Structure 1
């Protein structure tokens, strides 16, 4: 909230808008300057800004119903082929979730506890097996590793780099003046695509390290 008082901040993730609202927006004080907050759900396929006491959609790259069904079928086949998801263990919510502009496969379910997510695939090998199996079935789509247990599928060219470029264009900020903070910026990582933009990048390993970085940014701005 303190950072938003003076700086424009964007959050980009594979999650859908309801997750952004519950996990971010409702956790901030009522007096937060939401006009400085931009939300990019589903890996940058959608952009929202806060105007006139509500969230307004700037753009959205929707999948068709047929595309969503084809993606879901490919995910089911890939789960069977790879065997990396233990289907005998009940999921925490839906494993496969159509999100309008993206379909997400969450190995443990969308509502899985963070500790379980962190323990499931620490070396990314399971997610890479799933990503590869899905990608070979869907050459006409973009298939990326998402969060700690997830794989995201969008239209070709729709990824976090796309979201960064569209945001910078919308708010009139050169890419080179943007700072992107993420935890998996290396090859094959969740945020690898952002390295293809002109934005500066800063790697962090967890929320604690992110909080320290925000404090440094606040000190620099003061």
Structure 2
């Protein structure tokens, strides 16, 4: 078996990667934008430019409505929406621009029984581990249909608090492991800065990469996936395991520089 390669954005052989890639996929929070914040103006400009050069996907644990507020709402009219692929809730849902609107092409939802068992386990273990706080900002457990998401500080917690809560991922990893033991038939993974995500087993960012490759008629190895959580325990790592060109960034500032390098080379290739 070939070793799984993850490249730092500033270590990648950019010429070789751009010669191979036929699509680029991005994580959202911590990659394109800060947690639950819209892409800034510079990122929006580069993101739109990429859609005019090749297929672009957003693959995130967040729900579709967050993709709308963080990405779609700030895109101008110069983006090629027909080249944009939206894969929220870890790719358990897929949206395309068709006939002047965004349409859900597929959705793999949890059953009522799975949802009830998972929610009970989340609350019980979060209380036992001391991460079920009295004061939270917004929903603590959000039902996204195809995914349940536990947010320790609440869905609307200030970004500065979320980023400080679990910098080494120890709290999320411990909670995810405890819940996974209760619901082995489901996929339980650490999510964003304060979250644990639960979905049907077999549907993660590896599945999203394979499904995107099939939709585009290319190989998984021709997709570059860019994410900030590329360690083996991170929620972006399954994309690397699937065989995508896996690129690690530490935040949107790195992603911006990476986009500039890609745009420069692909624009030259198309000239």
Smaller-chain TM-score bracket: over 0.9
TM-superposed CA distance for 1:164, in Å, is: 1.1
Residue in structure 2 matched with residue 60 of structure 1 by the alignment:
107
TM-superposed CA distance for 1:104, in Å, is: 0.5
Matched position secondary structure for 1:2: helix
Deviant stretches of 4+, over 3 Å = none
Match of 1:122 among 163, 167, 171: 167
Residue in structure 2 matched with residue 17 of structure 1 by the alignment:
64
Q: TM-score, normalised by structure 1?
A: 0.96
Counterpart CA distance in 2 for 1:216 and 1:15 is 27
1:69 aligns with 2:110: no
Counterpart CA distance in 2 for 1:139 and 1:114 is 32
Q: TM-score, normalised by structure 2?
A: 0.79
CA 1:43/1:27 → structure 2, altered by over 3 Å: closer, same or farther? same
1:37 aligns with 2:84: yes
1:185 aligns with 2:213: no
1:151 aligns with 2:196: yes
1:201 aligns with 2:246: yes
Matched position secondary structure for 2:234: coil
Residue in structure 2 matched with residue 212 of structure 1 by the alignment:
257
Q: Is the 8 A contact 1:47 1:167 kept in 2?
A: no
Counterpart CA distance in 2 for 1:113 and 1:76 is 22
Superposed CA deviations along residues 140-174 of structure 1, whole A, max 9, x for unmatched, are: 11101111111100111111111111111112121
- Runs of 5+ consecutive residues of structure 2 not aligned to the other structure: 1-47
Q: Is the 8 A contact 1:141 1:153 kept in 2?
A: yes
Bigger mean CA deviation after superposition, 26-35 or 9-18: 26-35
TM-superposed CA distance for 1:113, in Å, is: 2.1
Counterpart CA distance in 1 for 2:238 and 2:90 is 10
Counterpart CA distance in 2 for 1:35 and 1:98 is 29
Match of 1:107 among 140, 152, 157: 152
Q: Is the 8 A contact 2:126 2:132 kept in 1?
A: no
1:93 aligns with 2:110: no
TM-superposed CA distance for 1:86, in Å, is: 5.0
Q: CA RMSD in A?
A: 1.1
- Runs of 5+ consecutive residues of structure 1 not aligned to the other structure: none
